[in-house]
């Protein structure tokens, strides 16, 4: 244990967390070793003395608030070796002292975060200016132009830092897109002149603003797509489709890119053979669209021609143009993020430089490659080659095939997860634990599987790309036929309140602890799998209704029509639960329960009384002392019956043996 403790001490030394205590005036009374090393402070140092110029007021406000209440998420810049160092602080009062815990934010992260915050503030401010007055349109347009230039200048540094890219992907897509969509919407309203005619200069300014906002939105979308790919957060949606359908759709999408009077002809040839593809149709179309758009952009006259053919089991798409061509030294540069080549067209168009890098990464994600052949002044040919069937499609097919071979004694678990690697891990350790896995990468797949199988539990990722997983969860819990199936939500976003409100039985953040998941699934399996239920009722119709309620469950059902026959069946079949009618010919539930309690073999079996008899208060009280629950036949439903059986099984398995 001493070696392990030493290892943890060594690991802790790499932490960027610091611990401080100070008095109300900000004099440090305690500083841990990391605080002394990272901030250069010690006991007696006054925090205001090391505050970076401009941070003094914020520090004073933090100290004032911390005297009476806990404060969190406050970022203060301190002077360390003549340079600013930002520390995210949380504090709380303790007597006359103030306790602080802080995390030193790396300089590159802090700088980039300030840039992003500045960008958001400027976009929001621009939105307000548009709403306020048409007279400030020119100033607002200049603000967006400045913002775009700043974002382009700083993108290299931002994209090289994976931590910042992940934060952008996870947290800022909505914050960036929302104000941009507002700007585009407001410019459209202003341009429609619904609130009055615009002078020509105002209309011109609105066009400039809209054009700048569209460029910025395109850049943001490309940055986010690249971030998802680099962070392995871009999931594939594999589907089957024909090459002919894809080309037909691409004609409709690509032709509007070319004005009617353009001196360039766009030709999309039919494929020599119509083949079936099984890959991500959306990402394939995005690659083709980006490449064709790029070819049209750099072709002033002549043609852009798209052709497709199948070579050795791969789809080969070629886009050939008669444009300006690319020098040999620049052919790889165009695939670098923000990499652009000098040309008179490039200077006029001012593109973002992300279309081709994104397309190459998408091609690699599809298991293929994107390359170029070109001669300066004579045009270029971009070649995309991808497998007809993506590797993930084959792996998924094999996983589905394995799921069809079910061990009769295994409990089925439906796993709804769109990430293939996560799905493979689920399958591996659940099968090893003795479960039968039903894999589904989409809600449609899950619904199809549930038509064939009734799982004992569902493991659900609610962040499926493009799927309404929340609606799926809500529908499961609203439908009486599935509401009793436990749903374990496992995802990357902390939305536990929403998941619980919609009926989720468990909520866990990824990465999931394997042992915790297996313990929960074994608990569910023990409560439901192959449980034996004995129904004792002299009414054949009542027994039929219970049989229907428990149909398609894993319960094994036995029946008896009299009290003595029921006691005999309990001794023979050893049921886990007994559903007992109150009146049975010449006997009552009390008689049957007394006989069951008198025999050690049946004494511990939980009993649920199901009756249409109106019980007086004394009988009901006595029954509840002997039975697990009393249910009126009038209120009996599938959900109620299954829930009461499950409660009885759970209570019975948790009680200590007597």
Tell me if the bond preceding 35 is cis, omega within 30° of 0: no
Question: Does the residue 237 lie in any domain?
Answer: no
In tens, the pLDDT along 60-79 reads 999 999 998 999 888 898 98
Return the closest-CA partner of residue 490 out of 573, 430, 576, 400. Answer: 430
Q: Which pair of tokens denotes residue 604? A: 């511990």
Q: Are 498 and 524 in contact (CB under 8 A)?
A: no
Q: Where are the beta strands (DSSP E) in 219-360?
A: 238-242, 264-268, 276-280, 302-311, 314-321
Q: Are 380 and 345 in contact (CB under 8 A)?
A: no
How many whole angstroms from its chain centre is CA 441?
13
* Residues 420, 506 within the same domain: yes
Return the closest-CA partner of residue 310 out of 236, 391, 219, 384. Answer: 384
Read off the DSSP letter of residue 245: H
Q: Which pair of tokens denotes residue 458? A: 């569902």
* Residues 281, 319 within the same domain: yes
If phi over 0 gives left and psi between -120 and 50 gives alpha, with beta otherwise, what is residue 26?
Answer: left
Can you tell me the distance from the alpha carbon of 103 to that of 459, in angstroms, rounded to the nearest whole number?
35
Give the domain extent around 576: 532-654
In tens, the pLDDT along 421-480 reads 788 888 888 888 888 889 888 888 889 888 888 888 999 988 776 566 888 899 898 888
* Residues 517, 483 within the same domain: yes
Average pLDDT value for residue range 280-297: 87
pLDDT for the residue 1: 45
Q: Are 605 and 578 in contact (CB under 8 A)?
A: yes
In tens, the pLDDT along 203-262 reads 888 877 876 777 677 666 666 666 655 555 556 777 888 988 888 888 887 887 777 778
* Residues 545, 630 within the same domain: yes
- Global model pTM greater than 0.75: no
Per-residue CA distances from 215 to 122, 210, 472, 527 (Å): 16, 9, 36, 58
3-state SS string for 634-648: HHCCHHHHHHHHHHH
* Residues 447, 583 within the same domain: no
pLDDT for the residue 607: 92
Higher pLDDT, 29 or 122: 29
Question: Does the residue 235 lie in any domain?
Answer: no
How many whole angstroms from its chain centre is CA 602?
49
Please, which residues bridge with residue 306 across strands?
A: 268, 319
pLDDT for the residue 469: 83
In tens, the pLDDT along 495-544 reads 888 888 888 888 888 877 888 888 888 777 765 556 789 999 988 888 88
| Domain CATH for 46 | 3.30.450.20
Pairing of strands 457-460, 17-22: unpaired
Number of domains in the chain: 5
* Residues 101, 210 within the same domain: no
pLDDT for the residue 163: 47
Return the closest-CA partner of residue 549 out of 438, 606, 631. Answer: 631
Residue where one domain finishes, among candidates 87, 105, 123: 105
| Domain CATH for 578 | 3.40.50.2300
Spatial strand order of the sheet with 457-460 comes to 435-440, 411-416, 457-460, 487-491, 506-509
Q: What percent of the chain has pLDDT over 70?
A: 78
């Amino acid at each position: 244990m001493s070696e392990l403790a030493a290892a943890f001490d060594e690991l802790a030394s790499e932490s960027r967390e610091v611990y401080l205590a100070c008095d109300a005036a900000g004099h440090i009374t305690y500083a841990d070793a990391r605080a002394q090393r990272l901030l250069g402070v010690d006991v007696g140092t006054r925090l205001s003395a090391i505050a970076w110029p401009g941070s003094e007021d914020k520090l004073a406000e933090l100290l004032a608030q911390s005297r009476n209440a806990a404060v969190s998420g406050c970022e203060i810049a301190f002077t360390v070796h003549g340079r600013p160092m930002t520390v995210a602080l949380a504090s709380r009062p303790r007597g006359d002292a103030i306790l602080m815990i802080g995390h030193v934010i790396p300089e590159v992260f802090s700088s980039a975060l300030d840039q992003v915050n500045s960008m958001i503030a400027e976009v929001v401010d621009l939105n307000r200016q548009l709403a306020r007055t048409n007279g400030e349109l020119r100033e607002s347009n200049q603000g967006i132009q400045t913002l775009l230039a700043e974002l382009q200048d700083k993108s290299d540094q931002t994209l090289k830092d994976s931590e910042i890219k992940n934060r952008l992907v996870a947290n800022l897509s909505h914050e960036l897109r929302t104000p941009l969509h507002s700007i585009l919407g407001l410019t459209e309203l202003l341009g429609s002149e619904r609130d009055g005619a615009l002078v020509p200069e105002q209309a011109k300014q609105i066009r400039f603003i809209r054009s700048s906002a569209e460029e910025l939105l395109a850049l943001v979308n490309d940055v986010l797509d690249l971030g998802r790919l680099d962070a392995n957060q871009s999931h594939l949606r594999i589907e089957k489709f024909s090459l002919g359908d894809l080309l037909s759709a691409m004609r409709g999408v690509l032709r509007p890119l070319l004005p009617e009077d353009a001196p360039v002809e766009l030709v999309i040839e039919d494929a020599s053979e119509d083949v079936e593809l099984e890959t991500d149709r959306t990402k394939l179309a995005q690659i083709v669209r980006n490449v064709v758009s790029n070819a049209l952009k750099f072709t002033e006259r002549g043609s852009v021609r798209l052709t497709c053919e199948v070579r050795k089991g791969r789809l080969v798409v070629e886009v050939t143009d008669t444009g300006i061509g690319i020098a040999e030294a620049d052919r790889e540069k165009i695939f670098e993020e923000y990499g652009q080549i000098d040309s008179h067209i490039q200077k006029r168009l001012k593109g973002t430089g992300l279309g081709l890098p994104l397309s190459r990464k998408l091609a690699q994600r599809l298991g293929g490659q994107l390359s170029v052949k070109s001669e300066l002044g004579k045009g270029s040919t971009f070649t995309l080659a991808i497998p007809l069937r993506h590797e993930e499609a084959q792996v998924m097919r094999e996983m589905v095939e394995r799921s069809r071979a079910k061990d009769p004694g295994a409990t089925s678990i439906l796993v709804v997860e769109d990430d293939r690697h996560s799905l493979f891990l689920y399958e591996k350790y659940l099968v090893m634990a003795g479960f039968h896995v039903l894999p589904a990468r989409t809600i449609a797949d899950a619904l199809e599987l549930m038509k064939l199988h009734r799982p004992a539990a569902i493991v659900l990722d609610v962040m499926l790309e493009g799927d309404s997983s929340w609606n799926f969860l809500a529908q499961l819990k609203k439908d009486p036929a599935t509401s009793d199936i436990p749903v374990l939500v496992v995802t990357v976003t902390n939305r536990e309140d929403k998941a619980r409100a919609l009926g989720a039985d468990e909520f866990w953040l990824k990465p999931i602890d394997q042992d915790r998941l297996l313990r929960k699934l074994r608990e569910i399996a023990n409560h439901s799998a192959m449980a034996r239920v004995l129904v004792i009722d002299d009414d054949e119709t009542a027994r039929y209704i219970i049989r229907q309620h428990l149909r398609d469950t894993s319960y094994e059902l036995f029946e008896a029509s009299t009290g003595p026959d029921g006691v005999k069946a309990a001794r023979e079949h050893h049921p886990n639960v007994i559903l007992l009618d109150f009146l049975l010919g010449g006997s009552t539930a009390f008689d049957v329960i007394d006989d069951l309690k008198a025999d050690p073999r049946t004494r511990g079996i939980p009993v649920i009384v199901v009756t249409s008899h109106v019980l007086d208060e004394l009988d009901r009280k006595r029954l509840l002392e002997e039975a697990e629950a009393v249910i009126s036949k009038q209120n009996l439903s599938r959900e109620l019956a299954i829930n009461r059986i499950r409660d009885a099984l759970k209570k019975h398995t948790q009680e200590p043996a007597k």
